[in-house]
Amino acid sequence: MRLRWQLAAMMATGTLFAWSFPPYDLWPCIVIALAPLLSLCGQVSARRLGLLGAGASLVGSGWLVPWLFDTLRVQFSLGSLGATVAFGGLLLWYAWPWALVAWVLAKTTRVAGPVNPWIATLFLTSVDSLRVAVDPFGLYLPAHALAAEPRLIQLCTWTGATGLSLWIYGLTALGVVGVQHWQRGQRRLASREGVCLAAWLALGLAVNVALLPPLSVAATTQTLRVAFVQEAARIDARPGLAVLVAQSVELVRAQRPDLLLWPEGTLAGAPAADGEVLLSLWEAMVGTELTLVTGGLRQVLRDGRPIAHNSVFAVRGAGVVIGEADKQVLVPFGEYVPEFLRWFGLSETTLRRHFGAVTLSPGVGLQRPLRGGGVQLGPLICNEILLPALAQRASNGGAQLLVNLSNDRWARSAAVARLMVRAAQLRAVEMRLPVVRSASPGGAAVVDPAGRVVWSADWLTRVATVVPVVVERGSSLHRRVEPWVQVFLGLAALAVFALGRHRATAA
């Protein structure tokens, strides 16, 4: 195949993938986005397909995040050199998983034939199902694109995330078959292609029946009254803590919520550091079951030296901290300077001048769920809502409600807030848990276990309201069944890979 057609397939995959996300919102593109790249399986070498996969990621990033350079330069105060290095590093970081998946696909489907699109899409389905366990850093594998469209996520009400993957990649396989037929001038399906299509539909139907909504019902439910308070401050301004306290006190006395949420970074330190400003709120909370969940910096001593964590605090009446959790996956350049920059012999002064002086440390060990409103809370701070492995860890620890506190001012874009809400939808259907999101200066939302947005706040909108959230008590049958489905698909992926290698060797 000529190089120009390979580059065209790369450009098409990257462009279609990007167009399915905000701010473009052309959601049908996600169904066919991978078809151009998959059509090259069996026609180019594994190394070439890996490079084309990385190129598709770079093309998609070029469409999606051109604003990121200015954000790094202005918002994070990195300067032109620091922003250039950081921007290039982030693009390459999110490109190599695409290269890895494309390379494995080429190895799996090395021998050309009508069954290859179905082998490739079965592998992608397995990757999408297992990324909950194997993608702890939010690497945005191609399969991660399911977060792009709420109407696709809504299908998870019936199928679960695994069943949805089967259907979406089945449609992708049909697109690849169509491209192959167009290249060969064929108009009808071959017999083996018909068998593959029937087998795929049967597998999708079996998984969907296994994950029907009746299996998702827990034994009992509880309704929490969750209060959201946030200011519609300018993007470059920090909301006044006194204003938040006054609005919260009024809300607590009038509506008696069970849970009060403030966004990430609302407090400059631990709650005790802002004790005078918060005194009126502590007094209003005395004698109630209300728990305040808010973000702030936590200073601790480790090996005799002070370090800072981006943390979440759970606080009861009189300002008593009953639980805290530290952010485990930090944002490079925004919250820490990557260690690899020191390999080039850059001095500490140079690093601080070009890459900022941020010195936050990640949380260590297993983060226990917080207790608030009578239920177990799984805290996810800022970009951690993009990481399915952390949500899975919280669910395994007994969390009944996922709580995402975020400060989205760095993005300077409403499209990022909308994307974060869509990620919250996907986490909800993957874990079958409700998700509440408190974000500044907008993007707060409540998502039910079926992925439906029950309530949301617009960008740059003042919020002071109470929203009822239904929380399930006990584990649903769905939550116990779907991990076994994921294991089955993982074993199927290994079998398909072994089959592809065997066919390649025999040929």
Q: What's the average model confidence in pLDDT over 217-241?
A: 70
DSSP conformation letters of 147-171 = GG-HHHHHTHHHHHHHHHHHHHHHH
For residue 186, pLDDT beyond 50 = yes
Residue 309 · residue 327 · CB < 8 Å: yes
- Coil, helix or strand at residue 432: coil
For residue 490, pLDDT beyond 70 = no
Domains of the chain in sequence order: 3-215+482-506 (no CATH), 220-328+363-475 (3.60.110.10)
Q: What's the average model confidence in pLDDT over 458-479?
A: 78
Amino acid at site 421: V
Percent of the chain clearing pLDDT 90 (strictly above): 12
For residue 477, the model assigns a pLDDT of 57
Of the candidates 9, 12, 20, 16, which has an alpha carbon nearest to the alpha carbon of residue 146?
A: 20
Of residues 291 and 32, more confidence is placed in 291
Lowest mean pLDDT among 232-236, 354-358, 405-409: 232-236
Of residues 428 and 274, more confidence is placed in 428
In sequence order, which residues have a C-beta less than 8 Å from that of residue 106 and are 6 or more positions away? Answer: 41, 42, 44, 45, 46, 48, 49, 50
Most confident of 50-59, 136-145, 163-172, 467-476: 50-59
Distance CA 436, CA 454 (A): 10
For residue 445, the model assigns a pLDDT of 94
Most confident of 91-105, 110-124, 144-158, 240-254: 240-254
For residue 501, the model assigns a pLDDT of 64
Of residues 351 and 247, more confidence is placed in 247
pLDDT 10s digits, 308-337: 888 999 998 878 889 999 998 887 767 777
Most confident of 24-28, 213-217, 436-440: 436-440
Question: Hey, CA dihedral for 144, 149, 152, 157, is it positive or negative?
Answer: positive
The torsion angles phi and psi of 73, rounded to 5 degrees, stand at -75, -40
Q: How many helices (H) and strands (E) does the chain have?
A: 17, 12
In sequence order, which residues have a C-beta less than 8 Å from that of residue 307 and are 6 or more positions away? Answer: 299, 300, 301, 359, 361
For residue 379, the model assigns a pLDDT of 94
For residue 291, pLDDT beyond 50 = yes
Amino acid at site 229: V
Q: What's the average model confidence in pLDDT over 426-450?
A: 86
- Coil, helix or strand at residue 293: strand
For residue 109, the model assigns a pLDDT of 63
For residue 87, pLDDT beyond 60 = yes
Of residues 75 and 368, more confidence is placed in 368
Q: What's the average model confidence in pLDDT over 132-157?
A: 51
For residue 437, the model assigns a pLDDT of 95
For residue 111, pLDDT beyond 60 = no
The torsion angles phi and psi of 438, rounded to 5 degrees, stand at -110, 120
Lowest mean pLDDT among 105-109, 146-150, 395-399, 483-487: 146-150
Lowest mean pLDDT among 32-36, 39-43, 350-354, 405-409: 350-354
Beta strands in 336-374 (DSSP E): 370-372
For residue 30, pLDDT beyond 60 = yes
Q: H-type helices in 94-155, by residue range?
A: 96-108, 116-134, 150-154
For residue 446, pLDDT beyond 90 = yes
Query: pLDDT class for 455, splitting at 50, 70, 90?
Result: very high
Q: Which residues of 147-184 are buried (b: 16+ CB within 10 A; e: fewer)?
A: bbbbebbbbbbebbbbbbbbbbbbebbbbbbebbbeee
Residue 231 · residue 408 · CB < 8 Å: no
In sequence order, which residues have a C-beta less than 8 Å from that of residue 6 and are 6 or more positions away? Answer: 40, 44, 48, 52
